[in-house]
Structures are given as C-alpha cells and as structure tokens.
Amino acid sequence: MTKAWGGHDAWHRAAFVWVGLLWLFREEFPALDRNQLRWLPRILADAKQIAEAQARICETREDAFGGAVRLLVGEIRHRLRSEPDDPELTRLLSIAGAARCSDPLRQPIFSVLRARSAKIYREPRAASLAVGWLNRHPLGQNPNGTFRDPYHVSARTRLLTGGASVGLDIHLDQFDFVSLLAVPAILVHELVCHAHAAVHPQDRADTSGSWWAEGFMDWTAHYFFERWLSASGLPYELVKKHGEQLWRDRMFDIRHTGWQAADTLVGWLIDEPAAGERFVAESIAAELALQVNAVCAQLARKDWLASELLVIRTDTAVRDKVRAWMRGDLSPDGLLPEDRLPDA
C-alpha cells in the first residue's frame, strides 16, 4: 500500500467510510460534475482526511463511520457560522445530519446488478463482492505523469466452488465521486462476461487475450449496462456519462475486435426477416452471446466463433448455423467449431 494504514483492516475501514460519505452526497453529483458547487469539493476533501483518520483509531467500520459523520457535521457547521444563509452549506448539513451507516458498494450497487445478471442466465452462479486495494491507477500513468483515465478502480472475477467472487479493486488515494460513478459499468462487465461463464478445465484463468471473453461479451455487457443504468441508485445521467467514457478509455485492441464481431452480427441480423429492427437484432445477438458463454467449451472455440461472426456477411456456413440456432434447430454448442479447430 502507498500509505501506512496500519494493516488491511484499517484500509478496509477507510474505504468503507470514504465510499459511505461519498454516497451521502450522491444527489449533489450532477452539480458537482458540472463544477457548479462552491462548498462540496472542500467538504469532500475534509471528509477524505476524516475517513482515513477515523479508520486508524476506530476498531469497527460502524464506529469509524459514526465518528467521521460527527466530525464532518462539525466542519460544515463551522463554515455556516461565517455564512449562515448559504443554501448549499445548509443543504449539505441536512444531508450529513441525516446520515445512516451503509455499504453502498454491496447494497444497492452490487446486489441489484447481481440480481439483474442472474436473471439473464439460465443457470446463474451465486456471486459475491470482495473489495481490495490498488497501490496505483489500474492502467498506470502516462509519460507526463497524468493518469490514463480518471477512474481509480478496476475489477476481476474468480470462479469458486459453487459461485463466483467479483473483486473490486480501489486505488483509495485517488478514489473520488467520479470513480464511484464508474463502478456500475465495471461490475456489469464482470457479472455479464465472467461471473456466470462456463469455464473449460483446460482453459487458463486469464482471459485478457480472448476475442470472446473480453470482446464479444464486453459488447454484451455494454448492451445490458444501457438497460440497467437506473439500477445502481446513483444519478442516471452520470452513470451513463462515466460508464461510456470508461468503456472508451479502456477499449484495447482485443476488445475492439470482439465488438466488431458483435456489431457485424447485428448488422447482418437487421437484414434478416427474423429480426429486421435494430433493437431486435441487438437482443438476438445478446442472447446468442449469453447462451454460448454458458457452454462448457474451450475458450479457443468461442474465440473462433467470434472470428467467424466477424465475416458472417461473406460466410454461408456461419449464416446457416446462426439461422438454425434462431429457429431452435441448433444448440448453442452447435454454433461452435468442432473440438478440433480449423487450421488458422
């Protein structure tokens, strides 16, 4: 860790308190994002220091949060003495004074998105959330020392016996309200792409080089992200804005190729009588992705399917397979190439 937190427990308390304090002011985020607030940036700077201090001296998360709220209320009241009629300070005092200890990363953000993702898979796994630390920005820094994007958070998923653990990793030193607004997009990717995926025993856990797992399925995650925007409890317009920006900022080559395959499939489906409309074509492509993702087959076979869908307009055999699957005459496993992959 980059700071002497005094142990993992203190870091976790600090993260819990800081995110909880950010959550209190979530309805102020639209004005904060537009730089229209005078006092909240200063209040949040105080809150960050207070959260870290309380995490070090308190033994429980609840005590640390309660102590932080009391100190924060005192800071706001101190400012009100010099500006007693300031409407922003009055509003912030009311918000802080009504604070209740909560864990918004788990409830509502993760729990609601977990429930949504479980409904779209026929045999979903139980999924849990684990919060971990990052010592730096997940993408590192540019040569000039600036951060690669403003989102100091990333995630990864581990499949366990009977379930999945989604690890949300936070660079706490720089984690702010903008990073919190990117959390729903990050979690949707993990839940849709990985938490319920069938994994072949011969595959490695690392899927970073997969057109399917990190590309085609990422397109599918974005498809559902757009439909679940209002589910997290954070301001809709900002979850959309920062989720879309995060997707753009982290669109590496493998991911982009998988997206191209999905978009090519959608474009072909639009011309098919069974689809015709874009929203129907997109829903069919997303359903195909979910069904194939749940097939216990080597990831290389799914990657090959992504490469075939990339040329579906010129490949008669692929078109016929997709049409047969749409009619219900072919299983999702039948969409995949044989166990012996064609020569590259």
Handedness of CA 268, 269, 272, 276 (dihedral sign): negative
Q: Mean pLDDT across the chain, nearest whole number?
A: 94
Within 8 A by CB and 6+ apart from 234, the residues are 26, 29, 109, 180, 181, 184
pTM of the model: 0.95
Residue tagged 């802080």 (tokens): 96
**Contact present, 193 and 220 (Cβ < 8 Å):** yes
Angle of CA points 210, 199, 119, to nearest 5°: 100
* CA-based nearest residue to 46, from 10, 64, 23, 73: 73
b/e sequence 113-151, b meaning 16+ C-beta within 10 Å: bbebbbebbeebbebebebebbeebbeeeeeeeebebbb
Residue spans of the domains in the chain: they are: 8-97
Structure tokens at 197: 């995926």
Three-state DSSP class for residue 301? helix
Crossing angle for the helix pair 217-227 and 111-120, to the nearest 10 degrees: 120
256 φ, ψ (degrees, to nearest 5): -60, -40
- DSSP-derived secondary structure for 209-274: T-TIIIIIHHHHHHHHHHHSGGGSSS-HHHHHHHHHHHHHHT--HHHHHHHHHHHHHHHHHHTSTT
- What is the per-residue pLDDT across 68-118, written as a single tens digit (0 to 9) for each? 999 999 999 999 999 999 999 999 999 999 999 999 999 999 999 999 999
pLDDT number for residue 142? 81
Cα dist. 142→137, 139, 174, 248 in Å? Answer: 11, 9, 16, 17
166 φ, ψ (degrees, to nearest 5): -95, 115
Q: What is the band of 276 on the pLDDT scale with cuts at 50, 70, 90?
A: confident
C-alpha span between 129 and 171 (Å, rounded)? 17
Q: What is the band of 344 on the pLDDT scale with cuts at 50, 70, 90?
A: very low
Q: In what order do the strands lie in the sheet with 163-170?
A: 126-133, 163-170, 153-160
CA torsion 316→320→323→328, rounded to 10°? -170
**Residue 6 CB neighbour total at 10 angstroms:** 14
The residues pairing with 154 across neighbouring beta strands, listed in sequence order, are 169
- What is the per-residue pLDDT across 206-215, written as a single tens digit (0 to 9) for each? 888 999 999 9
pLDDT number for residue 340? 55
Structure tokens at 281: 């074509």
Three-state DSSP class for residue 119? helix
**Contact present, 69 and 96 (Cβ < 8 Å):** yes
Within 8 A by CB and 6+ apart from 112, the residues are 231, 232, 233
pLDDT number for residue 44? 97
The residues pairing with 339 across neighbouring beta strands, listed in sequence order, are none
Could you give the residue ranges of the DSSP H alpha helices within 107-175?
111-120
* Section 255-277 average pLDDT: 95
- What is the per-residue pLDDT across 203-247, written as a single tens digit (0 to 9) for each? 988 888 999 999 999 999 999 999 999 999 999 999 999 999 999
| Upper half-sphere CA count for residue 185 (Cβ side, 13 Å) | 27
